[in-house]
A and B are shown apart, each in its own frame.
Chain A
């Protein structure tokens, strides 16, 4: 396959595209719609993954001591933990500190605590892990080690955000599953659309293909222009979908929807350049697969 062959194929593919602009427009529009759904889901999935990863990184551990533990026990626990290589630092809160903290966080409603004694809250040690342990596995491992400490340390429980992580993991898995399900549906839909568009083109050019077969054209000579046409439809559809979803997502009035909460939301990222390139290449590849299926059936029927 030399340069002349590829020039011929490109010319044939561009003729096919310009000869039937309406068919191409309908195909590209439908592909764009399907791929937009997929790209939006991909954006949400990527951001959710980033969010859970951020949360994971930010979470530490809180070691609660039994009620009535002495300040010596608290210092002993903090001192022991501080020496562990997985731990970057510790901060201990006795019952009075915890009570003051709670009162501060209640602000104007601190009067609700009137009449209560500071002994209602347990002493605790807040643990900051080393950066390489700021993940679910690291936290779980350190929490287990703390729980296995001698009873003399009077550790009642260790809170390492397991409930929150479990919930976000569940949400992430759900979005992941939805992504796969929609992805497969979109894949089938795009292949179906391109297969049918190429079939229409094949039908319109059936006499030409018959003549080409009669004069000795190889299968690749006949097929490759259709592969290029399919790749074009898939690629252009994906590019439009990226642009369209970006426009759509940037037009969502986040501030108006969530108000002051927007300050707590992480920065929203669109797809990375690598993902965009993979997305477009993937869609083009789907176009080639669809064209291969369509031409394969057609040439088989045509008798070669």
Chain B
């Protein structure tokens, strides 16, 4: 589902965010990417949803070669990938329902289908009673669950989560991780970037450790 072959990402002349990284994630797999700040976790994630292109090497996601994607193909790739961020990236002036529905509107789905799918996914993340709430009136954990619901509403093949628990306390973090586990159990490939080693140990999935842009360890 995700393949990286000797990927290097360089900014300017001297800064190498990723250096000769190769890895493979199969369909339905769950993996953590960990490492200190500046290790290259976020750069790797940005490459996977085509916010960046590799300087060298090949990045393949759900059959798309990121380096060769033109501007028109990027949205098509992103419709197959759900992305969750530390800062949620929710639209604060829109309700929970509207935030989640946006992804289906982009795909041109009918109003009836949007209503059904959004209700179902909100029920899955335990927020069906908050569909008319505005994000800023909700807790961090709830906001992150809305972001996850939005990422999952069209049942993407891959879910990328960049520090999804970075703004949450331990209890809420575990709640979010449990939700990601459930998503993975339904067959979605999940890749989570986190610097929280305790979390990775508690959930015991494959752990890829980055250090100065290189893979230091890949276990599990």
Contact = CB atoms under 8 A, between A and B. Distances in A.
Interface residues of A, number: 19
A214 B49 contact: yes
Interface string B106-124: 1110110000000000000
Contact of A215 (B51, B72, B76, B106): B106
A303 interface: yes
Interface string A7-21: 010000000000000
A219 interface: yes
A249 interface: no
A221 interface: yes
A233 B79 CA distance: 33
Interface stretch (A159-167, A175-183, A205-213): A205-213
Contacts of B108: 2, 4-5
B74 A304 contact: yes
A216 interface: yes
A217 interface: yes
A214 B83 contact: yes
Nearest to A300: B71
B106 A211 contact: no
A218 interface: yes
A215 B89 CA distance: 11
Interface string B28-51: 000000000000000000000101
B105 interface: yes
Contact of B106 (A2, A212, A303): A212
Contact of A216 (B76, B110, B111): B76
Interface string B172-216: 000000000000000000000000000000000000000000000
A254 B206 CA distance: 88
A216 B91 contact: no
Interface string B126-167: 000000000000000000000000100000000000000000
A211 B106 CA distance: 11
B6 interface: no
Contacts of B102: 211-212, 215
A304 B71 contact: yes
A170 to B, nearest CB: 53
| B49, B91, B110 pick with most chain A CB within 10 angstroms | B91
Given A2-B108, A5-B108, A216 B103 contact: yes
B91 A208 contact: yes
Interface string A102-117: 0000000000000000
B71 A215 contact: no
B107 A216 contact: yes
Contact of A207 (B71, B83, B89, B105): B89
A216 B89 contact: no
Contacts of B3: none
Contacts of A303: 51
B79 to A, nearest CB: 4
A221 B89 CA distance: 19
B71 A214 contact: no
A211 B91 contact: yes
9 contacts: A2-B108, A4-B110, A214-B83, A216-B76, A218-B72, A218-B106, A219-B75, A304-B74, A304-B75
Given A4-B111, A215-B102, A215-B103, 19 more contacts: A5-B108, A207-B91, A210-B89, A211-B91, A211-B102, A212-B106, A214-B49, A214-B89, A215-B79, A215-B106, A216-B75, A216-B78, A216-B107, A218-B75, A218-B106, A219-B71, A219-B72, A304-B71, A304-B75
Interface of A: 2, 4-5, 8, 207-208, 210-219, 221, 303-304
Which 3 pairs across A and B sit closest by C-beta, in order of nearness?
A216-B79, A216-B78, A215-B103
